[in-house]
């Protein structure tokens, strides 16, 4: 893969910021350009996930065309849509675009206002929350009251408890850990709000065994990642982070009608990623793993080969994902405590770590990182390395 990440940017992230989404995006874009040492005239590609969509309030109010015009870009390649390797899709297609000469520097963005766009009758992350007729697998789940992604994720957590003896306390270790990491991340939405295991265990049950603190929350914010051709990256402001490998996962389009409810498409995406590189799981210095719900983290750990099947929760409970653990994971707080940017926040944090810019949460000598995005039937995995 002849592609590298050369710059990252993030707007202020918070609850009910009540700022236009395009302003948040512009802030993130300006920061990313400055980080890479580029100007908007250097950007000749633009990608996003999932494109402009109204599937839920504030879920994706901006598409390619609005951002292209607002930033005054002159591109020769673009892509935006929801049918790809989960939230990793725009990064992966950008890498392919610069590797094949379609573009030199691609701006990848995610922008949302899920927090400030909600109302009592118009909720984020709920089937039908944005109005309209339901169809496909979501309609089937809704008929039995499973209208939220929390219900769908809880099925995995229940099955893992049954098969492997996983416990709420083990998941709670990861949640408390990520909240502690957020105290070291000034950008995190829960910076300044600590959490104990007692807080976790006493939180309101949402969908057994997942409580309120097992769930990420809607926020307002934007994140931008710049992907550059390898030969164009070497002369920029920072050492390029090479995209050493990547993989996509796609299996049955369902959250419940699956042959194995202890694993997600994360497994296939990570297997494909490892098959295309000489790096091994032991080379991972830092990980950013999708945590829309806490139970996703142990499944991603197992998918990446950090531990064996069924051992993810025990690995967490033993301290394996801490800042000084074997595989520091979600070091900036993750979506559970830093804010839900649908995977882009994880990529931003892993890049921050690999550039040695993590401050008080910096992982020592971090040079190689993995990022996993997606839950259920869709997933994308990426391996980054600072040479």
pLDDT of the residue at 148 = 84
> Looking at domain 3-115+218-233, what is its CATH homologous superfamily?
Thiolase/Chalcone synthase (3.40.47.10)
Look at the pTM and tell me if it is higher than 0.85. yes
pLDDT of the residue at 123 = 60
Annotated domain spans of the chain: 3-115+218-233, 147-216+244-387
pLDDT tens digits for range 166-224: 999 999 999 999 999 999 999 999 999 999 999 999 999 999 999 999 999 889 999 99
CATH architecture designation of domain 147-216+244-387 = 3-Layer(aba) Sandwich (3.40)
Across residues 318-329, what is the average pLDDT? 98
pLDDT tens digits for range 21-71: 999 999 999 999 999 999 999 999 999 999 988 767 788 889 999 999 999
pLDDT tens digits for range 266-283: 999 999 999 999 999 999
Q: How confident is the model at residue 95 (pLDDT cuts 50, 70, 90)?
A: very high
Q: Is pLDDT above 70 for 128?
A: no
User: What mean pLDDT, rounded, does the chain reach?
Assistant: 94
Q: Is pLDDT above 90 for 144?
A: no
Do the Cβ atoms of 48 and 62 come closer than 8 Å?
Answer: yes
Between β-strands 77-80 and 45-48, what pairing exists: parallel, antiparallel or unpaired? parallel
C-alpha 323 chain-centroid distance: 19
**Within the chain, where are the H helices?**
21-36, 64-71, 89-99, 136-142, 149-164, 168-182, 197-201, 230-233, 266-275, 296-303, 312-317, 334-337, 344-354
């Amino acid at each position: 893969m002849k592609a590298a990440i050369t710059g990252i940017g993030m707007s202020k992230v918070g609850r009910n910021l009540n700022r236009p989404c395009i302003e948040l995006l512009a802030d993130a874009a300006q920061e990313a350009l400055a980080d890479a040492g580029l100007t908007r005239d250097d950007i000749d590609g633009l990608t996003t996930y999932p494109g402009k969509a109204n599937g839920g309030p504030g879920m994706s109010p901006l598409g390619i065309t609005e951002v292209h015009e607002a930033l005054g870009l002159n591109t020769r390649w673009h892509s935006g849509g929801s049918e790809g390797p989960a939230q990793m899709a725009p990064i992966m297609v950008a890498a392919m675009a610069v590797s094949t000469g379609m573009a030199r520097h691609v701006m990848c963005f995610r922008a949302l206002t899920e927090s400030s766009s909600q109302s009592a009758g118009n909720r984020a992350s709920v089937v039908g929350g944005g109005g309209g007729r339901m169809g496909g697998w979501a309609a089937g789940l809704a008929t039995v009251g499973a209208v939220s992604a929390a219900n769908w994720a809880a099925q995995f957590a229940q099955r893992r408890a049954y098969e492997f003896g996983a416990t709420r306390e083990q998941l709670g270790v990861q949640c408390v850990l990520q909240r502690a990491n957020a105290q070291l991340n000034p950008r995190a939405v829960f910076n300044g709000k600590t959490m104990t295991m007692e807080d976790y265990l006493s939180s309101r049950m949402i969908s057994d065994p997942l409580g309120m603190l097992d769930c990420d929350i809607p926020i307002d914010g934007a994140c931008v990642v710049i992907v550059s051709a390898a030969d164009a990256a070497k002369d920029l402001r920072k050492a390029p982070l090479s995209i050493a490998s990547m993989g996509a996962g796609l299996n049955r389009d369902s959250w419940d009608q699956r042959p194995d409810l202890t694993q997600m498409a994360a497994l296939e995406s990570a297997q494909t990623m490892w098959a295309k590189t000489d790096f091994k799981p032991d080379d991972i210095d830092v990980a950013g793993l999708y945590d829309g719900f806490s139970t996703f983290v142990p499944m991603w750990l197992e998918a990446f080969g950090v531990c064996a099947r069924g051992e993810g929760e025990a690995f967490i409970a033993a301290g394996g994902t801490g800042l000084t653990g074997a595989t520091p994971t979600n070091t900036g707080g993750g979506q559970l405590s830093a804010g839900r940017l649908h995977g882009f926040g994880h990529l931003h944090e892993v890049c921050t770590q690999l550039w040695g810019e993590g401050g008080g949460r910096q992982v020592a000598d971090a040079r190689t990182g993995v990022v996993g995005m997606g839950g259920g039937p869709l997933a994308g995995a990426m391996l980054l390395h600072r040479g």
